[in-house]
Amino acid sequence: MKLERNSRINQTNKSEIKSKLEEIFGAKNVTDKKHNLLPYSYDATECEPGMPDFICMVENVGQVINVVKYANNKKIPLVPYITGNNIGGLTIPQEGGVVLDFGKKMNQIIHIHESHMYALLEPGVTFGQLYKHLKENYPHLRYCYPFAPPYSGVVGNAILSGMNNLSCIHGSMGDWINGLEVVLYDGSIVRIGSCFMGDKLSVDNWHSRYPMPDLMGLFVNWQGATGIVTKCAVQLWPRKKIERKLLAICKNSAVTAEFIREIGRLEIVDDISAVSVEVAKMALGDPTPVKLDSEPDFPVILPMSAHNEQHYQVKVDLVNQCIKKIEKKYNTTIQCTDFDYFAACIGDDIRVFADLPNVITPLVEYSGLTWVGTYAPPDNLEPLIDETAQVFIKFDIPMFIYMKSMKSSHYAIFRPIIRYKKELEEERMKKATADILEVCLKYGCIPYKTPVWMAKRLQEIIDPNWLKFFKRTKKFMDPNNIFNPGRWGI
């Protein structure tokens, strides 16, 4: 594995840089030892590895300000890192430099505002940590959880617009950010959102992203390339009395696509998560599942919440009415039942998709994991499923597709996933993901948490003026290109 990409750091100056970093972070929080650097140089994906020069454990905002000032002066790349569980190579240094690890020590839940319903977080807070804190201290409030391990970072997912188990009703996590505190390239610190009113006026002023000119977009989805987020306020939601799930089983792409769209439009389910039946079988212990002829194509989980039993029953009735319409239109049957009882029959392991946050076992069983995660036009789900299926067959990979309705079907998530043995199959899987990307681009999908190679492909087809504007903005926000350089292939 070739790791030493061209580091921007002049290797003869390394000891001077190390001294400075130790002065900022403390000697015990800085390392340049190869065995410590190695885990930060790669991830589970097919993205090219890249060795950092230093790892620093960050403890507070003051350290971030000082290191940014220094790095900007010396043109040293800074790569923010929380837990490294993203599937996009987003924390792999493209040009060496300093990895700032927030996950270990800058991980406080600073404040929960009960009536304004937000949580103010440091970057290292994980989903599991937030889930536990809310369950124990604020059981009437909830946050969302993605198909990601409980040790994944909340802030990283939020500022990368992650999807989650409340996405159908509330959209992506990027929509729920009330405020950010960011360190800019010159070491100045800025607050975005209602928190711009300042600490002197009120502590609890992280209630809203609007209505001032919205600068949030300068930091959301930029992969840390415009500044370093040191605080993030995320919206919480009231927890209703009843939280249950339905499970529906759909046959073929047309029925599944229609089901996802139409149930989403009802605006009564918290989430819609459809996985190919092969994925369900992976969770139940079959490592190389094959879909058999009469098996349903897509089980779909529908988490729903309600104020009381009557409210819940009304929602179930509406789902069933929608199902009847789809059955009539497509001359098919869609069976639907309570998920908890069905899971107890079929196998408790299927609950990995329901009891979030959780380690989704099919995603972690192999050394390699990659996906083409996209925001997709809901109308195109059917051809996306059909044509992506052909790619899976071509490369003899079990079909692993994950789909969601987002924000009442304004848009969808289409995410084909590949798990593989890194040492043996990486080259072949690169080809497979490239083919899948072409299918996705053909139908207007846009990759999220975009790895560099996908961003470069995307740049070939997007509006050139967008690209010019994007580069100008990056240059403005980061004149010396110190913030996670190389992201989006620029």
Partner 1 sequence: MENRVEKEIIEFNNPRDILGMGIKNILQYRKTDPKFLNLIKDWNKTIIIGFKDIYDVTVIFKGMNIHINYGSTQDYDLWLEIGSIQTMTDLAKGDLGPISGFLTGKIKVKKIWNILVLLHFIRIFIPNLRMAGDVGELRQKGIGRRNEVGA
Task: Give the whole-angstrom CA distance, residue 242 versus residue 312.
Answer: 8
| For partner 1, the closer CB: 134 or 234 | 134
Contact pick of 352, 363, 406, 452 for partner 1 (by CB under 8 A): 352
Q: What is the DSSP letter of 459?
A: H
Distances (CA, A) of 338 to 1, 49, 256, 343, 444: 48, 44, 18, 9, 35
Contact call for residue 140 and partner 1 (CB under 8 A): no
- Residues 145-164, interacting with partner 1 (CB under 8 A): 150
Q: Residue 179 — φ and ψ, nearest 5°?
A: -170, 155
Q: For residues 384 and 440, is the Cβ–Cβ distance under 8 A? A: yes
Task: Give the whole-angstrom CA distance, residue 475 versus residue 320.
Answer: 53
Q: What is the DSSP letter of 247?
A: E
Contact call for residue 188 and partner 1 (CB under 8 A): no
- Residues 407-436, interacting with partner 1 (CB under 8 A): none
Contact call for residue 318 and partner 1 (CB under 8 A): no
Contact call for residue 333 and partner 1 (CB under 8 A): yes
- Structure-token pair, residue 109: 């839940």
Q: What is the DSSP letter of 221?
A: T
**Nearest residue to 98 via CA among 159, 18, 12, 189:** 18
Binding mask 285-304 for partner 1 (x = CB under 8 A): xx--xx-x-xxx--------
Q: For residues 459 and 489, is the Cβ–Cβ distance under 8 A? A: yes
Binding window for partner 1 (CB under 8 A); candidates: 205-213, 252-260, 279-287, 416-424:
279-287
Q: Is 249 exposed, middle or buried (0-12, 13-18, 19+ CB in 10 A)?
A: buried
Binding window for partner 1 (CB under 8 A); candidates: 210-218, 277-285, 422-430, 467-475:
277-285
Contact pick of 60, 188, 308, 337 for partner 1 (by CB under 8 A): 337
Contact call for residue 277 and partner 1 (CB under 8 A): yes
DSSP result, 157-192: HHTTT---TTHHHH--GGGGEEEEEEE-TTS-EEEE
Contact call for residue 4 and partner 1 (CB under 8 A): no
Contact pick of 100, 183, 302, 336 for partner 1 (by CB under 8 A): 336
Binding window for partner 1 (CB under 8 A); candidates: 129-137, 205-213, 309-317, 365-373:
129-137
Give me the count of residues in the chain.
490
Binding window for partner 1 (CB under 8 A); candidates: 48-56, 284-292, 463-471, 477-485:
284-292
**Nearest residue to 316 via CA among 269, 373, 250:** 269
Number of other CB atoms surrounding residue 13 within 10 Å: 12
| For partner 1, the closer CB: 182 or 352 | 352
Contact call for residue 335 and partner 1 (CB under 8 A): yes
Binding mask 199-238 for partner 1 (x = CB under 8 A): ----------------------------------------
Contact call for residue 23 and partner 1 (CB under 8 A): no
Q: Which residues pair with 191 in a beta bridge?
A: 181
117's torsion region: left (phi>0), alpha (psi -120 to 50) or beta? left
Footprint of partner 1 on this chain (CB under 8 A)? 128, 131-132, 135-136, 150, 244, 247, 249, 277, 280-281, 284-286, 289-290, 292, 294-296, 333, 335-338, 340-348, 351-352, 355-358
